[in-house]
Structure 1
Amino acid sequence: MTLYYTLVFALLVTEMIIFALLIIPLPYTMKRKLFAFISESPIIAKLQYGLKITFIFILILFIDSVNRVYSVQVELAKTKSSQNSAMLEGSGRMEVQARKFYSQRNMYLCGFTLFLSLILNRTYVMILDTLRLEEKVKRYEGDPKASGKDSDRLAQAGGAGEIGKLKNQLAQKDRDIETLKKQSEGLSREYNNLGDQMNPKDSTPKKDR
């Protein structure tokens, strides 16, 4: 197995582990804190962006493996239909069968990796929706634990890292507002100083000629 297909296999195993962790029954409080952390973590957001690029390359490998499987099938069909069946005997047959096996293996590996990534994304969204509904039910029932900080973070979560991005944008806008306030105060002081300097000149009585 080549290096990039080994990396694809490692990613597939990682996805299987993450999927198993998602479906493990956890206490409600622990699950709420975990998903609130995932939803607002900027590290998770960067990792998710990198995985999107990785899955694009895996899709290219999947298309290439499908093409190789088709080519081997066409070659086998031509060889069987030809009158010279000696190519199907011995090492020639083993070589074609090996190529067919490797191309099919690569196709299944990339295909299952892509398919499991879609399942993980959908499972994550469904768990978030379930937690939000549970929060609403607990609030309607008057549960005081349903109005905590984690509940607010979870209710606003729209995707991994989105809350972190919004907080950074809000902090940047607050800094811009503070800078504008300081500039406005400086301009106001300058305007008042100029007014104080101009008023004595205008208020001096004119001499009679």
Structure 2
Amino acid sequence: MTIYYMIVFMLLMVEIVSFVILSLPLPLKVRRAILNAISNSPFAGRVKHVLKITIICILILFADSVRRVVRVTKEYDLAIAAPSTTESARSGYKASQFYAQRNLYLCGSALFLSLVVNRYYLALEAMIAAQDKMQALQTQVEASTNNAKAVEELETLRTKLETRDKEYETLAEKYAAVTKTVEKKKDI
């Protein structure tokens, strides 16, 4: 395997490991810490840039692999049609066809998995942002329910105060009436 296909294979392994790490059922705090480290790291920014360039190179290798598979398949079909082809020539064609297909599947898998990892990462970021927003809204709802309870308590206290004021007024009127009658009795 040539050096660039070894690099593609290593990238494929890194993508598999990163997908497994992102897919683990981790607690929200740990997952948020991992995603924040990836998002905010200056090293991660450089790695993302290098990966974009590498993906473009893998795309070129994929196109070349498709071309090779088509060419090798045509050569093999022509060799099979020729009656003078020996078994060793056929095995050589089969080997070159195998290598071309291996490279095709390797590049295709790396491209597909890079797309999957990227989309999964973006979905996780969106999910964590939504969970943060949900937690903020829950705290606001709890605060508003606490405020609603305080308002209800204030209203009940106001009604109690109004009833006490009415009772005070009626008692004051009764007291005034009683004092008038007592004063009239004193005057008599």
Please report the TM-score for the alignment, with normalisation by the length of structure 2.
Answer: 0.71
1:117 corresponds in structure 2 to: 114
Q: Secondary structure of 1:142's partner?
A: helix
Q: Distance in 2 between matches of 1:7 and 1:33?
A: 29
Q: Is contact 2:76-2:90 (8 Å) kept?
A: no
Question: What are the superposed Cα offsets for residues 157-176 of structure 1, whole Å, 9 maximum, x if unpaired?
Answer: xxxxxxxxxxxxxxxxxxxx
1:173 corresponds in structure 2 to: none
Q: Is contact 2:9-2:106 (8 Å) kept?
A: yes
- The count of residues paired between Structure 1 and Structure 2 equals 140
1:7 corresponds in structure 2 to: 7
2:83 corresponds in structure 1 to: 85
Deviation at 1:79, TM superposition (A): 2.6
Give 4+ residue runs of structure 1 displaced > 6 Å after superposition.
none
2:27 corresponds in structure 1 to: 27
Q: Is contact 2:79-2:90 (8 Å) kept?
A: no
Please report the TM-score for the alignment, with normalisation by the length of structure 1.
Answer: 0.64
Deviation at 1:77, TM superposition (A): 2.2
Question: What are the superposed Cα offsets for residues 127-156 of structure 1, whole Å, 9 maximum, x if unpaired?
Answer: 01111111111111118xxxxxxxxxxxxx
Q: Does residue 1:102 correspond to 2:69, yes or no?
A: no
Q: Distance in 1 between matches of 2:27 and 2:129?
A: 15
Q: Secondary structure of 1:85's partner?
A: coil
Report the aligned-residue RMSD: 1.2
Deviation at 1:30, TM superposition (A): 1.4
Q: Distance in 1 between matches of 2:49 and 2:104?
A: 24
Q: Distance in 2 between matches of 1:35 and 1:97?
A: 45
2:129 corresponds in structure 1 to: 132
Question: What are the superposed Cα offsets for residues 16-53 of structure 1, whole Å, 9 maximum, x if unpaired?
Answer: 00000000011111111221222111110111001111
Q: Distance in 2 between matches of 1:66 and 1:138?
A: 49
1:39 corresponds in structure 2 to: 39
Q: Is contact 2:35-2:125 (8 Å) kept?
A: yes
2:75 corresponds in structure 1 to: 75
Q: Whose Rg is larger?
A: 2
Q: Distance in 1 between matches of 2:27 and 2:114?
A: 25
More helix, by proportion: 2
2:64 corresponds in structure 1 to: 64
Q: Distance in 1 between matches of 2:88 and 2:77?
A: 18
- The answer for unaligned runs of 5 or more in structure 2 is 141-188
Q: Per chain length, whose mean CA-contact separation is higher, i.e. which structure has more relative contact order (CA < 8 Å, sep 6+)?
A: 1
Q: Distance in 1 between matches of 2:33 and 2:13?
A: 25
Amino acid at match of 1:135: D
Q: Distance in 2 between matches of 1:90 and 1:77?
A: 14
Q: Distance in 1 between matches of 2:98 and 2:14?
A: 24
Deviation at 1:78, TM superposition (A): 2.2
Question: Percent identity over the alignment?
Answer: 41
